[in-house]
Amino acid sequence: MHLLLLSLLIIAAGGIVPVLLLRFFPLAKCSAAILTTLGCLIGLYSILTATHFPFSISWEWLHCCALTFTFDSLSRIFLVPIFLISPLAAWYGVGYFSQPEKSLRVAVNYFFFALLIVAMVLLPAADNMLSFALTWETISLASYFLVMYDYHKESTRNAGYLYFLFTQSGALFIFAAFGVIFSFTGNLDFAGTATLPEGVKLVVFSLAFVGFASKAGVFPLHFWLPHAHPAAPSHISAIMSGVMIKMGIYGILRLYFLLAPSSLAIGQAVLVFGMLSGVLGILYALSKNDLKRLLAYCSVENIGIILIGVGMGMIGIALADPVVTIFAMTGALLHVLNHALFKPLLFLGAGAVLQQCGNGRIDQLGGLMKRMPTTGKTFLLGSAAISGLPPLNGFISEFLIYFAAFHALGHSHTIFILAMLAILSLVVIGGLASFCFTKVVGMVFLGEARTPEATAAGPVSLPMTIPMTILAGCCLLIGIFPTTCINFVHLGLADYLFFDASVTAQLTSVGNNLAIGCRLFLLLLALLLCIRRLFYHNKTVTQGPTWGCGFTGGTPRIQYTGTSYVRTVVSIFRPFVLLKESKIRLQAIFPSRTTYCNHVSDIAEEVSNRGLALPLLWVLGKLRWIQHGNIQLYIGYILLTILAVLLTLLI
Amino acid sequence: MESLLCFGLALLTAPLFPGFILKVKAFFAGRKGPPLLIKYYTLGKLFRKGSVYSTTTTFVFKLGPVVTCAGAILLLLFFPLGSRSTVIAFQGDVILLFYILAAGRFFTIAAALDTGSPFEGMGAAREALFGTLAEAAIFIILILFYRMNGSLSFAEFFAGVQPISLTGAAGALVPLVIAALFMVLLTENSRVPVDDPATHLELTMIHEVMVLDHSGPDLALIHLGSYYKLLFFASWIALLICPLDPARGLFNLPFFYGTVALVYVAIGVVESIMARLRMNLVPQFILTSCTLMFFAAILTMGYLQ
């Protein structure tokens, strides 16, 4: 426990030291990275070895409010990715921030980085409304400043503004939920929440769900993600997407366990939101042409998968079905951990591509596997993992959720239909994710370079490649040793759920079986590779150009592009994706130059633009006259307000 | 022991059956057709050759055939190929197997894109789309099987306490499954009317165009993988038609392989009497099988409580 506090202190120091060492740019970067690593390692050690859970820390603040933090089994699961990813991101930053003239900006970035980590470590432990609100707001503000790194660009400022709007209005909903709880229990503790009337629980959960969903990026409150991620530096995107948005998931889980509602509706609603986010997230990801925007939408998809698991687990709790509950919840939690491994890996890879090629437009890259081999190989592995392919980690968590969903097929009609839809969405998500990531790998890393920028790319520095390699290694390890990870994550539910011994045994046996399956697959692969090598022994292997089906004048520009690769599937799902195409086809005998241009807009963004933002702007535009710049009248407003307040108090 | 024997037998005989398809097609065309063992000759020829690699390609290109073939072999390990036991089985193995098939597809597509050829890109896009749709159809079949049988393992489906078959419990739904499964088979194994393995124009190909650049042992591995995959789907249908009789022991094998051969003949007949579909009709073809299975799954709500 004291170790954990020590680690937080060291991490905080890692934020302050670079600001002091501003003039010595490399030293400032390295000191931040070293201190963050040290702090995170101590933190990781303290939570992995801690035997007595839960334990709490508490102190008085402003002489009237108590700040209480309790670390229990669930918060432990959410702390692991924070401590794991943060040092890797910090080291990546050492390689990524390469311009000494921006040293002030970099130091400030490291300051908010450290602040974000400390707040994220404290949030899963927050034990009353005040500490929760405080850490939640710190996370929002720190991440806002991290996104604004390139503040001189207009697109970044717009993205930051959108993010700020989302995170603050989301917080309002959460505080509203807290207000409702407070009005019933009369104190700031979470303790009495379970005693609320059933109807009030629903209100509290729906209010808070809006707030948590906007942080997590659940459809339809997700569209700050595809704006904020391309704007932020890549390792910040990695932290935000891999770790920070999971705080929304944590909030949903924690509140659900606190409320302990008996109604089935909450689980069903969460499940439906999960399916929507999953399928639509990956569809939009598929249609995007910007590398980081695509990855941002893919986070929406993964949050969808996690919510499918969480929703299934809630349904299991309401139905008192231990198999569904344990498998779905464990699957969801494991996916939280898995997504925190492969998504940062992909974002770091995207950052390396951005640094080398100067842009992230998928259709203008190509052939990077030969120019940046480490980035390419780790990115390929991360892509396979995020598509849920065995023998990697993404498959293990998806399998557990599948298992729970199949088990839920045995229940009554509504649950049967929902479980069937959940399985189908998982299948569609899996298929489209493979589609999406073959597009990314194929267009960015394979084939020939399409532009001079891509031709000029070279390998990135060691501080950038080592974090990627470590993350790729973790993805493979979880795939080969699933039992340990499943059991570790499973323990995260120990403080909240009753464990049936037979279900726990079943979970372990499923883990062992998956291990056998995955290892067998790897073994077969190795065996076939050896056989292949035998067959190629002493054979003539020649090199030549790609077979162009008789056409020999091909240039890299005639390669299939990402847009053409996904066009058919995007047009199949047209009602959900707003696809605008403008094209000039071959016409007449002497055709003019042909062009094709398409744009896919997000249905949620479009609707909220037209239905909410524009009307709001119109109404507020009518009130412009209040803001006229005349100081005397402003003072008049103040006087009037005070008068009004006094009058209402007197009456 | 018995299961290993059957597994080995399947590994050896898989290249034989596509010969039946060619014979049937030749019969319909009034030709004599290639010898039954043609695929063995092809494999032998390919394994003896060297390879030509495009200068554009990387290691991903060489990984594609190996992953596909390993995945297909793993499929057969989990399937009761004429014996009442499988080499290995566990609850939930079907999900693993279809995800391993998806892994094979992922790396085949990546290998195709690795060549930088526009034709292979086109084939890859089609394969990715049709594969996703076919996977959805397969999982609805699994949902139905879970409702009928309560398990998630091929060994339990066909060799468990309550095997699924035409004559078993809820056998009325099985014809629907067979029809849907046959459509999935045609899609997954790139047969007419979805894809034409014998077409001569690259623009109209799906799977064949993706492996245009592979040669020698690499191509042999791809062919071998596709034979195993086809055998797997054919045996799946065969076991639905002709269940394994516990009393017959190893004498199940002739019945099993007889039915499998019939399925191959059916494929040959379909290929002879049908033209391939227009590319934009293929998604509808696969979705038909999805709809069939969805209908069957909804039916189980009524009488399988």
**Could you tell me what percent of chain A has a pLDDT over 70?**
99
Among candidate residues B165, B108, B103, the one with its CA nearest the CA of residue B135: B103
Cβ <8 Å between B125 and A566: yes
pLDDT over 70 at B305, yes or no = no
- What does the pLDDT read at residue A52? 64
User: Which residues have CB under 8 Å from A387's CB, separation 6+?
Assistant: A394, A430, A433, A434, A436, A437, B102, B106
- What does the pLDDT read at residue A371? 92
Residue with token string 């050492």: A94
Q: Is B229 part of any domain?
A: yes
- What does the pLDDT read at residue B200? 77
Task: Measure the CA–CA gap between A235 and A147, rounded to whole angstroms.
Answer: 11
Q: Which residue of B has its CA nearest to A432?
A: B132
Q: Which residue of B has its CA nearest to A370?
A: B58
Half-sphere exposure of A35 (CA within 13 A, CB side): 24
Q: Of A268-282, A488-502, A514-528, which gets the smallest average pLDDT? A: A488-502
Selected residue of A421, A568, A574 to mutate for chain B interface (largest B Cβ count, 10 A):
A568
Q: Is B164 part of any domain?
A: yes
To the nearest whole angstrom, how far is the Cα of A369 from the nearest Cα of chain B? 7
Task: Measure the CA–CA gap between A504 and A490, rounded to whole angstroms.
Answer: 9
Instruction: Tokens for B169, please give them.
Output: 């419990």
**To which H or E segment does residue A582 belong?**
strand A578-584
pLDDT over 90 at B150, yes or no = no
Task: Measure the CA–CA gap between A52 and A254, rounded to whole angstroms.
Answer: 20
- What does the pLDDT read at residue A599? 86
Contact B129, A435 (CB under 8 A): yes
Q: B119 touching A, CB under 8 A? A: yes
- pLDDT tens digits along A363-403: 999 899 999 999 999 999 999 999 999 889 999 999 999 99
Q: Is A542 part of any domain?
A: no
Q: A573 touching B, CB under 8 A? A: no
Instruction: Tokens for A21, please give them.
Output: 């060492």
Q: Is A206 part of any domain?
A: no
Q: B95 touching A, CB under 8 A? A: yes
Cβ <8 Å between B217 and A443: no
Task: Measure the CA–CA gap between B289 and B183, rounded to whole angstroms.
Answer: 6
Contacts of B44 in chain A (CB under 8 A): none
Chain centroid to CA A204: how far?
Answer: 25
Contacts of A565 in chain B (CB under 8 A): 121, 124-125, 128
To the nearest whole angstrom, how far is the Cα of B301 from the nearest Cα of chain A? 7
Question: DSSP state, A498?
Answer: P
pLDDT over 90 at A646, yes or no = yes
* A568: nearest CB among B57, B129, B301: B129
DSSP A249-296: HHHHHHHHHHH----SHHHHHHHHHHHHHHHHHHHHHHH--BHHHHHH
- What does the pLDDT read at residue A1? 59
* A524: nearest CB among B51, B56, B74: B74
Q: Burial level of A23, CB count in 10 A (0-12/13-18/19+)? A: exposed
To the nearest whole angstrom, how far is the Cα of A279 from the nearest Cα of chain B? 13
pLDDT over 70 at A558, yes or no = yes
Average pLDDT over residues A255-268: 90
Contacts of B285 in chain A (CB under 8 A): none
Name the domain boundary from A533, A548, A582: A533
Q: Is B19 part of any domain?
A: yes
Contact A322, A605 (CB under 8 A): no
CB contacts under 8 A, A 406-465 vs B, are 406, 409-410, 413, 416, 420, 423-424, 427-428, 430-432, 434-435, 437-438, 441-443, 446-448
Contact A4, A43 (CB under 8 A): yes
Q: Is A138 part of any domain?
A: yes
Chain centroid to CA B82: how far?
Answer: 17
pLDDT over 90 at A270, yes or no = yes
Task: Measure the CA–CA gap between B17 and B13, rounded to whole angstroms.
Answer: 7
Q: Is B305 part of any domain?
A: no
pTM across the whole model: 0.95
Going by pLDDT thresholds of 50, 70 and 90, the confidence category of residue A591 is confident
Position with higher pLDDT, B99 vs A49: B99
- What does the pLDDT read at residue A432? 94
- What does the pLDDT read at residue A526? 96
- What does the pLDDT read at residue A520? 94
Stated length of chain B: 305
**Could you tell me what percent of chain A has a pLDDT over 90?**
64
- pLDDT tens digits along A310-330: 999 999 999 999 999 999 999
Among candidate residues A344, A375, A342, A383, the one with its CA nearest the CA of residue A474: A342
Size of interface A-B (CB pairs under 8 A): 237
**To which H or E segment does residue B267 belong?**
helix B252-273
- What does the pLDDT read at residue A439? 94
Cβ <8 Å between A542 and B53: yes
Selected residue of B47, B68, B78, B132 to mutate for chain A interface (largest A Cβ count, 10 A):
B132
Stated length of chain A: 651
Cβ <8 Å between B92 and A399: yes
* A431: nearest CB among B74, B131, B213: B131
Going by pLDDT thresholds of 50, 70 and 90, the confidence category of residue A132 is very high
- pLDDT tens digits along A520-557: 999 999 999 999 999 998 888 999 888 887 887 778 88
The total of structural domains in chain B comes to 1
Q: Is B57 part of any domain?
A: yes
Contact B172, B159 (CB under 8 A): no
DSSP B239-256: HHHSPPPTTTGGGHHHHH
Going by pLDDT thresholds of 50, 70 and 90, the confidence category of residue A600 is confident
Q: Which residue of B has its CA nearest to A524?
A: B70
Among candidate residues A133, A132, A139, A134, the one with its CA nearest the CA of residue A118: A139
Domain extent, residue B250, equals: 2-300
Q: A558 touching B, CB under 8 A? A: yes
Q: B67 touching A, CB under 8 A? A: yes
Average pLDDT over residues A478-496: 90
- pLDDT tens digits along B42-81: 999 999 999 999 999 999 999 999 999 999 999 999 999 9
* H-helix segments, B49-173: 59-77, 93-114, 118-149, 154-159
Contacts of A432 in chain B (CB under 8 A): 132
Q: Is B53 part of any domain?
A: yes
At B235, phi and psi to the nearest 5? -70, -30
Cβ <8 Å between A447 and B116: yes
* A384: nearest CB among B106, B121, B150: B106
Average pLDDT over residues B209-217: 90
Whether residues A244 and A333 fall in one domain: no
CB contacts under 8 A, A 467-496 vs B, are none
DSSP A515-555: HHHHHHHHHHHHHHHHHHHHHTTT--EEEEPPP-TT-----
CB contacts under 8 A, B 195-224 vs A, are 202, 212-213, 216-218, 220-221
**Could you tell me what percent of chain B has a pLDDT over 90?**
67
Per-residue HEC secondary structure of A18-41 comes to HHHCCCCHHHHHHHHHHHHHHHHH
Task: Measure the CA–CA gap between A478 and A494, rounded to whole angstroms.
Answer: 21
Q: Is B246 part of any domain?
A: yes
Q: Is A311 part of any domain?
A: no
Average pLDDT over residues B166-192: 90
Sign, Cα dihedral of A111, A116, A117, A122: positive
CA torsion angle B12 B15 B20 B21 (round to 10): 150
* B110: nearest CB among A410, A446, A448: A446
Cβ neighbours, 10 Å, residue A5 = 14
Average pLDDT, chain A: 90
The total of structural domains in chain A comes to 2
Domain extent, residue A51, equals: 1-199+213-251
Q: A530 touching B, CB under 8 A? A: no
Q: Which residue of B has its CA nearest to A572?
A: B283
To the nearest whole angstrom, how far is the Cα of B24 from the nearest Cα of chain A? 30
Whether residues A230 and A351 fall in one domain: no
Instruction: Tokens for A340, please give them.
Output: 């925190």
- What does the pLDDT read at residue B113? 93
Cβ <8 Å between B118 and A554: yes
Buried b / exposed e over A557-574, threshold 16 CB at 10 Å, is ebbbbbbbbbbbbbebbe
Type of residue found at A52:
H
Type of residue found at B65:
P
Whether residues A333 and A240 fall in one domain: no
Residue with token string 């696969």: B286
Whether residues A246 and A327 fall in one domain: no
- pLDDT tens digits along A41-70: 999 998 888 766 667 777 777 667 788 888
Q: A520 touching B, CB under 8 A? A: yes
Contacts for A69-72: CB closer than 8 Å, 24+ residues apart: A69/A122, A69/A125, A69/A126, A69/A127, A69/A131, A70/A125, A70/A127, A71/A1, A71/A4, A71/A47, A71/A124, A71/A125, A72/A125, A72/A495
Whether residues A195 and A343 fall in one domain: no
* A532: nearest CB among B66, B93, B120: B66
Task: Measure the CA–CA gap between A614 and B58, rounded to whole angstroms.
Answer: 50
Cβ <8 Å between A424 and B124: no
To the nearest whole angstrom, how far is the Cα of B114 from the nearest Cα of chain A? 5
- Asked whether the bond before A54 is cis by omega within 30 degrees of 0, the reply is yes
Instruction: Tokens for B275, please give them.
Output: 């033209």
To the nearest whole angstrom, how far is the Cα of A541 from the nearest Cα of chain B? 5
Among candidate residues B13, B11, B4, the one with its CA nearest the CA of residue B254: B13
Cβ <8 Å between A528 and B69: yes
Instruction: Tokens for A97, please give them.
Output: 């921030």
Cβ <8 Å between B52 and A524: no
Q: B281 touching A, CB under 8 A? A: no
Cβ <8 Å between A438 and B132: no
CB contacts under 8 A, A 354-393 vs B, are 366-367, 369-370, 376, 380, 384, 387-390
Q: Is A632 part of any domain?
A: no
Task: Measure the CA–CA gap between B179 and A332, rounded to whole angstroms.
Answer: 36
Position with higher pLDDT, B286 vs A59: B286
Q: A521 touching B, CB under 8 A? A: yes
Average pLDDT over residues A260-275: 92
pLDDT over 60 at A302, yes or no = yes
Task: Measure the CA–CA gap between A608 and A408, rounded to whole angstroms.
Answer: 35
Q: A559 touching B, CB under 8 A? A: yes
- Write the ipTM: 0.96
Contacts for A135-142: CB closer than 8 Å, 24+ residues apart: A136/A171, A136/A174, A136/A247, A137/A171, A139/A244, A139/A247, A140/A164, A140/A167, A140/A168, A140/A171, A140/A215, A142/A112, A142/A113, A142/A115, A142/A116
Contacts of A524 in chain B (CB under 8 A): 70, 73-74
